Amino acid sequence: MKNAVKFIKSKFFLYALLGALFVSIICGAVFMRYIFSGIPPVYEMEEYTPSLTSKVFDRNGKLFHEFSIEKRSMVPLEEIPVDLQNGVVAMEDRDFFKHAGFSVRGILRALLHDVLTGRAKQGGSTLTQQLSRGVFLTQQKKIIRKIREIVLAVQIEHRFSKPEILQLYLNEIYLGSGAYGVKAAAKRYFNKELSELTTGEAALMVGLIPSPGTYNPFANPQKALERRNLVLQVMREQGYISQEDLEKAKQEPLPEKENASDADKPGLYFIEHIRRTLEPKYGTETLWKGGLNIYTTLDIDQQATAEKIMNEKLTELDMVVAKGLGIEIEPEDPDAAVEKVEADGETKERQDYPRLQGAFMVRDVKTGAVRVMVGGRSFSESKFNRATQAKRQPGSSFKPYVWMAALQQGYTPATLVKDLPTMFYFDGRNWHTFDENSDLYSLDLAAQSFVGSKAFNVWAPQNLGGRNEGWIPLRRALEKSKNLVAVNLVDALSPRKVIAVARKAGLTASMPTVPALGLGVSVVNMDEHLAALSTFGNGGIHTDNYYIDKVEDSNGRILEEHIGQEREAFSPQDSYLLINMMKGVVTRGSGRAASRLGRPLAGKTGTTQSHRDMWFVGMTPHTAAAAWMGYDDDTSQEKYQWQGSTTARWWADIMEQILKDEPADDFAVPEGISFSYINPETGKLATPTDPNKFLEAFKKGTAPTSF
């Protein structure tokens, strides 16, 4: 009986042992399956490429920007300095060339720390483990990830040679300031190629690996120095450098200034516009990591020139304002304006000086390709693009739309138009004019009955300077930018006809049906205004602005390509007559500051009420450009008497450089245009002996017939 009981107990124990073993095997298999399920196939590393940089090229194929999450460049091991390779091995994994992917001593040390502290520590990792973590795994500090890291490291060691692993590591490692890989880091910290690095510089880069932020030489120079010297000492102890090399490298100075970042480069307003266009279309991942090739219309050299000159000229105007306010300002550092304020017997400093803002844009007259876009004086200070996002009153630069409406209604450049005092009243529904009078005194008397009436508003527009000339030719009225003529034309033609012209030219902004429309009281975007006015220089053919010629994916497949679209908005004859009058604005009128360029130019100045906005828009037959200046907060500049002609001066400074290689062509005369000599005062035919005769353009059959 006792033997039977013993037999049963022994059998039960055996079955229990086998069951426990079976459960352990199953659990182990499940656990290993779980471990391996989180490990990608190691063969993928053979084709591994980090996230790719999307490159942006200008119209001449010059690379001027890159969209990238990681600043990374891949280089073969033979191009990486030996001191840099040795320093990494000495500091990060001295047994790199001996182990099979992991270090037992390092793992035990890390596990002991984890047990004592109660949390996972990212330590004890070999170069191969760091590589597996950087390429395939997350940075989470978990035991399970550590196990996967070791398994993957063993697989990597089995599949790749030690030099291949070291090469991948040196191209993958993050070294701070957005630099991934040693080549990008050498450029960022020293502005050098890898081959130019000294032993001390290589050691400093190695010292960054465990904590790029802590050992950044620009943020923490003392810590960076101590870490670099530690790397050099370890390299000496392990026989990688001599004592002489050590002492020499310790004497090397640390870098003091980080290599120029994207924040210092020209064209950033344009780049931001490109980003806002492409990111919704292709997605953030594709734009920033997909390796796109983006071919744009921008001319980066012209862009840099425009940014430099605009800032210089606006700084000069800032200094005029500063002088009037008692502020000391250095021309080379306009941001460092200091106001000296006397208070309690002490001289104090106050940094509260506003700066003029500006915007500038250049496009191809015929195609609409944007060559230059300056959205403000500093992208790092303000990313608001005043060329595309700001809505400002165009002032008198709106008048060409009014003059085109007049031409379409049968006016000629010689038609006499009214430059006489006019007074309007608003009856609650529409604007009306008083009976025509020749002097403001009579109009003032007529307006007295409306004074104090809430049902009526009275408005009496005036020319700049308050002078009027009676009846003058349409051409002269545009050249002198006559406000009275503009509002009288709008009143005679109707605001709706003027708005229809502006719409056909390309403006989409809301425009009020009031006589003041002709003075540019509506608000427009610069890019749209420039495109609309360019329609007149293109023979009445409208083309929209465009910024991208072509986008390719990383394999060179074309994703999109610009195909130009044209729309006939106005007749070539009316467009030529208007452009010919706008040429007179430059040669004899408010825009003559631009005439010093010595080439055919058509243009129009614009100054809004209280001089809050100053414009100049000008064009050759090939290139059109718009310039604006003002304060973001709408501060008046009236006391300085700045106006559109002020803007025209720095417009000309920029365009002198941009147009230097463009032929000085004149605007082509279309069929159906004839020329006659007229008297510029009367608009009638000039006699042969008239000393002031002027050769005027007309549509055939519309020239005056009387002298």
Rounded (10°) angle between helices 143-159 and 2-37: 70
**Do residue 27 and residue 88 come from a single domain?**
no
The pTM of the full predicted model, rounded to 2 decimals, is 0.73
Q: Round to whole Å and give the CA distance between 191 and 80.
A: 16
Q: Confidence band (pLDDT; 50, 70, 90) for 347?
A: very low
Q: Give whole-number Cα distances, 127 to 52, 99, 149, 213, 641, in Å.
A: 24, 10, 11, 20, 68
**Structure letter (DSSP) for residue 481:** T
What CATH number has the domain bearing residue 78? 1.10.3810.10
Query: Among residues 259, 282, 297, which one ends one of the domains?
Result: 259
Asked whether residue 116 carries a pLDDT value surpassing 70, the answer given is: no
Digit-coded pLDDT (tens) for 648-705: 999 999 999 999 999 999 999 999 999 999 999 999 999 988 898 999 999 999 999 9
Is 156 contained in some domain? Answer: yes
Residue 395 has pLDDT above 50, yes or no: yes
Whether 86 is in a domain gets the answer yes
State the pLDDT confidence band at 113, using cuts at 50, 70 and 90: low
Please provide the DSSP assignment of 198-242 as one string: -HHHHHHHHHHTT-TTTT-TTT-HHHHHHHHHHHHHHHHHTTSS-
Task: Say if residue 29 is in the same domain as residue 134.
Answer: no
Task: Identify which of 360, 142, 193 has the alpha carbon closest to the alpha carbon of residue 270.
Answer: 360
Query: Within this chain, do residues 165 and 16 fall inside the same structural domain, yes or no?
Result: no
Number of domains forming the structure of the chain? 3
In this structure, the answer to whether residues 78 and 223 fall within a common structural domain is yes
The catalytic residue among 103, 132, 396, 534 is: 396
Give the span between the Cα atoms of 58 and 52, in whole angstroms.
Answer: 20
Handedness of CA 454, 458, 459, 460 (dihedral sign): negative
Q: Is residue 43 part of a domain?
A: no
Q: Indicate if 560 belongs to the active site.
A: no
DSSP 687: P
Quick check: 482 pLDDT over 80? yes
Is residue 494 situated within a structural domain? Answer: no
Say whether 396 is catalytic: yes
The mean pLDDT of 122-149, rounded to a whole number, is 58
Helix (H) or strand (E) holding 91: helix 82-92
Identify which has the larger pLDDT, 311 or 444. Answer: 311
Task: Please indicate, yes or no, if residue 322 is contained in any of the structural domains.
Answer: no
Strand 370-374 relative to strand 567-568: parallel, antiparallel, unpaired? unpaired
Catalytic residue among 66, 70, 73, 92: 92
H/E stretch holding 37 reads: helix 2-37
Q: Is the pLDDT of residue 45 over 50?
A: no
User: Region 590-605: what's the mean pLDDT?
Assistant: 96
Which among 205, 232, 259 is the end of a domain? Answer: 259
Q: Residue 166, Cβ neighbours under 10 Å: how many? A: 22
Q: Which residue has the higher pLDDT, 158 or 402?
A: 402
Confidence of residue 60 (pLDDT cuts 50, 70, 90): very high
pLDDT single digits (tens) 448-472? 555 555 555 777 788 877 788 999 9
Q: Is residue 411 part of a domain?
A: no
25 plus 105 within the same structural domain: no
Cβ atoms of 385 and 273 closer than 8 Å: yes
Residues 31 and 140 in one domain: no
Q: Looking at the structure, tell me whether residues 33 and 177 fall in a common domain.
A: no
Neighbouring residues of 648: CB distance < 8 A, sequence distance ≥ 6 = 590, 591, 593, 594, 603, 605, 616, 618, 627
pLDDT of residue 137: 41
> Token pair of 199, please?
């032993």
Mean pLDDT across 261-267: 75
Cβ(164)–Cβ(42) below 8 Å: no
Beta strands in 534-588 (DSSP E): 541-542, 548-552, 558-561, 567-568
Same domain, residue pair 29 and 147: no
| 582 occurs within a structural domain | no
Q: Are residues 241 and 112 in the same domain?
A: yes
Range of the domain at 6: 1-37
Q: Mark whether 153 and 211 lie in a shared domain.
A: yes
Confidence band (pLDDT; 50, 70, 90) for 290?
confident
